[in-house]
Structure 1
Amino acid sequence: MATGFVCGTRRRPKCVQCGGRADLECDWKVPGRKRGTCDAPICSRCTTSPAPEKDLCPDHAAAWQRWKEARSA
């Protein structure tokens, strides 16, 4: 019996917002995660960018907005 591997079958990540091809990952800090960030796949159309080279998924963009509003109150 022969055993083999199939190469090139890796699925491309899809944006959590629109389902399109994701080319970014969420950079929101998440304590306890191995990489330290959310890493949700997002596309360049659906990202919120609070700073250069930083991208947020929709959930964390909303959390960031609430944080900003709380600071200004």
Structure 2
Amino acid sequence: MVKKINVTFDDEFLESIDAMAKQSGMSRSAFLAMAVNTYANQMASMQMLRDLPELLQQIEELNDKVDDSKA
């Protein structure tokens, strides 16, 4: 489902957005959707990187348990 929303930007920022959208061959709406999606993906990737040390520790602990059960 696609929803229409309203957002407010100052004139200078909106001109910048329009210029980037035009340069990319996109509509303003498509450009903003792509930009927000890209940002959300980057934030999710950063969270995964922050979680990685804990996940690696858990894997190491499981490997130790497997090794101990084999002994």
| TM-score of the aligned structures, taking structure 2 as reference length | 0.30
| TM-score of the aligned structures, taking structure 1 as reference length | 0.30
More helix per residue: 1 or 2? 2
Q: Which has the larger radius of gyration?
A: 2
Higher relative contact order (CA 8 A, sep 6+): 1
More strand per residue: 1 or 2? 1
